[in-house]
């Protein structure tokens, strides 16, 4: 039987691809993925942004960095590449980093760089929601294993 294909935010399994060159390693997710085929993504890097990079947030349907530069095109390009990969690989599940301007599912930061959250998905997640791929975040794993 073929292994389930799971698309995963690379930072959640320990890759240092966050804006600050760090990661969001989640051992529960790593454990969950042991018997799965894992497809790692970082839409921001896929879109051409460097590591490290300036922190970015969504404001008025644009992605801006902390200097006020519009970096929406990088986020859109990366989101499209990640979506193409998800569809090509026929993934059935995505595990994404909550609060990310790319991968946030329920929440993202409001664009004021003041740690204020709003109920708005990230650029990639918004595109992924148009397809029948189940989306989980690290918050779904902190209370126990998800099958």
3-state secondary structure labels for all residues of 30-55: HHHHHHCEEEEECHHHHCCCCCCCCC
pTM: 0.94
How far does CA 55 lie from the centroid of its chain? 14
Contact 56, 63 (CB under 8 A): yes
* Rounded to 5°, angle at Cα 57 from 70 and 118: 135
Reported as a single tens digit per residue, the pLDDT across 5-44 is 999 999 999 999 999 999 999 999 999 999 999 999 999 9
Spatial neighbors of 114 by CB under 8 A, at least 6 apart, are none
pLDDT of residue 144: 44
Confidence of residue 116 (pLDDT cuts 50, 70, 90): very high
């Amino acid at each position: 039987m073929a292994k389930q294909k799971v698309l995963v935010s690379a930072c959640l399994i320990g890759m240092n691809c966050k804006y600050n060159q760090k990661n969001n390693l989640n051992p529960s997710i790593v454990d969950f993925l042991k018997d799965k085929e894992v497809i790692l993504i970082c839409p921001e890097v896929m879109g051409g942004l460097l590591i490290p990079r300036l922190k970015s947030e969504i404001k008025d349907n644009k992605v801006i960095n902390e200097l006020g530069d519009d970096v929406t095109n990088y986020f859109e390009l990366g989101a499209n590449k990640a979506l193409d990969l998800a569809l090509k690989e026929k993934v059935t599940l995505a595990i994404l980093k909550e609060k990310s301007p790319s991968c946030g599912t329920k929440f993202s930061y409001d664009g004021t760089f003041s740690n204020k959250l709003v109920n708005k998905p990230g650029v990639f997640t918004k595109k992924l929601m148009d397809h029948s791929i189940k989306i989980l975040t690290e918050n779904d794993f902190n209370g126990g294993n998800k099958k």
